Amino acid sequence: MARSTIRDISRVTGFSVFTVSRALGGGDGVSEQSREQILKAARELGYVVNRAAQELRRAKRDSVAVITASTSNSYYLDLMDGIQQALDPSEWTVVIGDVAVDGAYEARLEARMIQRLIESRTAGVISALTLQPEHTELLAKWDIPVVFVDSSPPPEAAHFPSVTTNNHEASLMVGQHLAEHGYKDWLFLVYPSKWSSRFGRESGLREAALHHGANLVVLETANDAASARETLARHLDGREAPPHVLIAGNNPLLLGAMELLRERAIRIPADMAVVAYDEFAWSTLTDPPITVLNEQSAEIGRRAAMMLREIIERQEAAERKGKPPSPVYLPEHHQQVPARLMLRGSCGCALHGGGRNGSFQAA
Amino acid sequence: MARSTIRDISRVTGFSVFTVSRALGGGDGVSEQSREQILKAARELGYVVNRAAQELRRAKRDSVAVITASTSNSYYLDLMDGIQQALDPSEWTVVIGDVAVDGAYEARLEARMIQRLIESRTAGVISALTLQPEHTELLAKWDIPVVFVDSSPPPEAAHFPSVTTNNHEASLMVGQHLAEHGYKDWLFLVYPSKWSSRFGRESGLREAALHHGANLVVLETANDAASARETLARHLDGREAPPHVLIAGNNPLLLGAMELLRERAIRIPADMAVVAYDEFAWSTLTDPPITVLNEQSAEIGRRAAMMLREIIERQEAAERKGKPPSPVYLPEHHQQVPARLMLRGSCGCALHGGGRNGSFQAA
DNA sequence: ATAGCCAGCCTAAACGTTTAGGTAAACTAC
DNA sequence: GTAGTTTACCTAAACGTTTAGGCTGGCTAT
């Protein structure tokens, strides 16, 4: 087959390479008649533009990367949905870069991913985890804007934009509800602080525990279901009775915990109540249905994507005017999205029917 | 900041552009001493290769695309895992191309995706759905190899490689089990035949129903949870009693069905048994735990990726020898992976404890 | 001492686009 | 009828790499 180039079309039609490029690109300076003739020839030759050549020549870059670790977390599916919604696929290419292997974060992969993104001159990055300081620095050096979602920028780059859940608030809400149930002995099973949402979640729970006179134990585990299960098992082995309530820091940890509780026949909520961060598809169908904090991750994704798009467009405008091409980050580029507590059976609430999906929303 | 190029390094070090390229690329023809000097300069300048320029110049392409629709199907997470395992990330870039919006397949997106893959001269494609004939033709024209997973090639391209579950076999196994329970009235809730795994699944159930003297109703729905719920609701409204057993064609359909059954307070398995295709993380924790057919999608992904890699390597070798660069597909490039039936409560089996994960495997 | 070879480096041409800058002819305004 | 503008097109130079081919000067084998 003939991998045809613009030059081939030029040869066939008799037009210059310039005219062909213009005709294909939809620019003006070509008569309608010539354009049609050129397009026809292109179709017949099976021409497809060579993106490498195109990107090399033009400054404009149109792909955006989303960096995540542990995509098995259903949180990210919604997040991606929101991002896709805000970035018209005919204009932007969204590539997702998972820096986890077997669900576990790997620093090595993060480095490789950043390198790759710079190599391909990515237009912008949405990161679902706090990147290592040297990597934000590198991206800044190459004028590639970054928006953090569900995570904060590293302290060295505090001015970088972010869209997060108001985790402290959300945890206060959780704590309030637990207190209403009368639970005094709380166990918070949580992932490492590599994922910065931990800080707000933990501080909120601490404040709530203090305020309501409850005892809070924080139990850290690696960020996957199997580790969560192991860690929780060891912890429960070391104490006489289970806590009043288990608070799972995210969806994979909840999964691991639930597997263990089922294995040990610990009844929920009779023996121990359970609440968790992260809404997920099966939450109403488990035994019992799980009370979760819904972060509206699709909304978070949508906002982050819009923010990034705006920053990139501003950057391009500045560049056209000959101004420095560094992205400009403003105070309004820090947004917080409120969360909602979805009440179901696992926290101890006795619910009759509930809404269409068997859930109530806390007032 | 200086977006430095090879030329800048050349200027700084005094070596020619050629030598710098060789030093960075790890080729020979450069003394160790010079190389170190060059690498040092590159590091100091913050040099990062421009991939567009690199790809333009060299023939070698190193990125592989996975085409899916409806990634929310947990099946695909495992599939991706398997693929990633087989393609060393330092050598290959795996990009995932979702051609669904809001979980629903869109032909428009498939066309755009194929276009994009050709534009960027992707080395190979793994497709989780039967591509449209004109698209396989287009990829063939550009000598881009394709391996189908969990789906067959279009009839026009029957010789294209594929790795699938032996769906017919698997359905016979399901049917056998349902017959053992004595169910005679089967309802198969299934996605459109755009996903070709439907054929084997349906034919197997038909054969089993015939053999065991059961009545099989096939109910088609769009491939997402919300549609499944609607479709099933309408179907149940139209009949006196629920069927003996509902067979959900995949994971999203199961989710939609379960939501409906819960809403209508149809007890499982007392009023109606449930079995489903696709293993998923929460299957043991639902109420009741779901009996599913486990297709071992990670294994399928691994095999497909290895197959694709081999085909690409063979293709490159042929090209180096001046032979035609078309990919060569062999008979052994059709593989089937057996499935396993995981027995849990929803089919009517009364299980005591089960294995560590509350499941038995059918003999 | 001569031929042959090799390591280490260079020059120059390619890869397939886009774009800056130009020209000739055809219109428009007066 | 002239000057100015617009339309439709062209030539040639980029973009940042890799690579084919060539040139040294020092080493080895005879």
Does residue A178 sit within a domain? yes
Is any atom of strand D within 7 angstroms of residue B47's beta carbon? yes
Beta bridge mates, B65: B95, B125
Poorest-pLDDT segment among A150-164, A275-289, A346-360: A346-360
Mean pLDDT over A225-238 rounds to 96
C-beta atoms of A286 and B286 within 8 A? yes
**Is residue A208 a part of any domain in this protein?**
yes
Taking CA atoms, A102 is separated from A186, A285, B78, B128, B222, in Å, by 30, 26, 10, 21, 31
Residues A260 and A274 in one domain: yes
Examine the domain organization and report whether B198 and B278 are in the same domain: yes
Q: Are residues B208 and B78 in the same domain?
A: no
Max Cα–Cα distance, chain B, nearest Å: 87
Do B91 and B232 reside in the same domain of the chain? Answer: no
Query: What pLDDT, on the 0 to 100 scale, is given for residue B29?
Result: 77
Are A337 and A166 in contact by the 8 Å Cβ rule? The answer is yes
Residues A230 and A345 in one domain: yes
pLDDT tens-place string over residues A183-213: 999 999 999 998 999 999 999 999 999 999 9
Q: Which residue has the higher pLDDT, B28 or B203?
A: B203
The answer to whether B173 and B205 are in contact (CB under 8 A) is no
Kindly tell me if the per-residue pLDDT of B78 is higher than 90: no
> B114: closest CA among B83, B76, B140?
B140
A188 burial via Cβ count (<10 Å: 0-12, 13-18, 19+): buried
pLDDT tens digits, one per residue of B109-140: 999 999 999 999 999 999 999 999 999 999 99
CA closest to D7 C1', residue: A29
**Considering chain B, what percentage of its residues have pLDDT values greater than 70?**
95
Mean pLDDT score across all residues of chain A: 90
Residues of B in contact with A56 (CB under 8 A): 50, 52-53, 56
Distance CA A147, CA A269 (A): 39
Asked if B230 and B198 sit in the same domain, the reply is: yes
> Does residue B233 sit within a domain?
yes
Cβ separation of A259 and B285 shorter than 8 Å?
A: yes
Task: Please state the domain count of chain B.
Answer: 2
For residue A164, is pLDDT > 50?
A: yes
CB proximity list for B313: less than 8 A, separation 6 or greater: none
Closest CB to A141 among B46, B115, B259: B46
By percentage, how much of chain B surpasses pLDDT 90?
70
Query: What pLDDT does A71 receive?
Result: 65
What is the DSSP track for B254-301?
Answer: HHHHHHHHHHTT--TTTT-EEEEES--TTTTTBSSPPEEEE--HHHHH
Domain that holds residue A240: 167-294+339-362
Mean pLDDT of A291-312: 96
Amino acid B254: pLDDT: 97
- All residues of chain A having their beta carbon less than 8 Å from the beta carbon of residue B80 are 71
Q: Is the CB of B24 under 7 A from strand D?
A: yes
Looking at residue B358, its amino acid is G
Mean pLDDT confidence for B96-103? 83
Beta bridge partners of A275: A247, A291
Residue A44 domain-assigned? Answer: no
Report if residue B103 sits inside a domain.
yes
To which residue do tokens 């869209």 refer? A163
Using the CB atom, is residue A57 less than 7 Å from strand C?
yes
Looking at chain B from residue 71 to 100, which residues have their Cβ under 8 Å from any Cβ of chain A? 71-72, 77, 80-81, 84, 89-90, 93, 95-96
Do A133 and A193 belong to one domain? no
Q: Please report whether residue B24 resides in a domain.
A: no
pLDDT at A358: 53
- Assess whether A221 and A343 both reside in one domain: yes
In a domain, B37, yes or no: no
Site from B3, B51, B254 to mutate, A interface, most A CB atoms within 10 angstroms:
B51
Is residue A129 situated within a structural domain?
yes
Which CATH number characterizes residue B128's domain? 3.40.50.2300
Whether B30 CB is under 7 Å from strand C = yes
pLDDT band of residue B354 (cuts 50, 70, 90) is very low
The phi, psi pair for A100, rounded to 5°, reads -125, 150
Contacts of A356 in chain B (CB under 8 A): 263
Judged by average pLDDT, the poorest of A158-172, B53-67, B127-141 is B53-67
**Is residue A266 located within the same domain as residue A178?**
yes
pLDDT of B96 over the 90 cut? no
pLDDT score of A74: 75
CA A348 to chain centre: 31
pLDDT (average), residues A249-255 = 95
pLDDT band per the 50, 70, 90 thresholds, residue A330? very high
* Mean pLDDT of the B20-25 span: 88
Burial class (CB in 10 A: 0-12, 13-18, 19+), B115: middle
List Cβ<8 Å contacts ≥24 apart for A213-218. A213/A184, A214/A175, A214/A178, A214/A179, A214/A183, A214/A184, A214/A185, A214/A186, A215/A184, A215/A185, A215/A186, A216/A186, A216/A188, A217/A186, A217/A187, A217/A188, A217/A243, A218/A188, A218/A190
Judge whether residue B352 has pLDDT over 80: no
Task: Give the pLDDT score at B325.
Answer: 80
Residue B176 is which amino acid? Q
- For residue B144, give every residue at least 6 positions away whose Cβ sits within 8 Å of its Cβ, in sequence order, or none: B117, B118, B122, B123, B124, B125, B327
Average pLDDT in the B64-90 region? 86
d(CA B252, CA B273): 18
Which chain A residues are within 8 Å of B281, Cβ to Cβ?
Answer: 72, 225, 255
Span A274-296, pLDDT tens digits:
999 999 999 999 999 999 999 99
Residues B230 and B346 in one domain: yes
Q: Please, are residues B312 and B124 in contact by the beta-carbon 8 Å criterion?
A: yes
Confidence of residue B157 (pLDDT cuts 50, 70, 90): very high
Residue A354 has pLDDT above 50, yes or no: no
DSSP state of B304: H
pLDDT digits (tens, 9 = 90+) for A91-128: 898 998 889 887 788 899 999 999 999 999 999 999 99
For residues B161 and B202, membership in a common domain is answered with: no
Nucleotides of D under 7 A from a protein CB: 7-21
Element (H, E) at A19: helix A17-25
B171 and B108 in a common domain: no
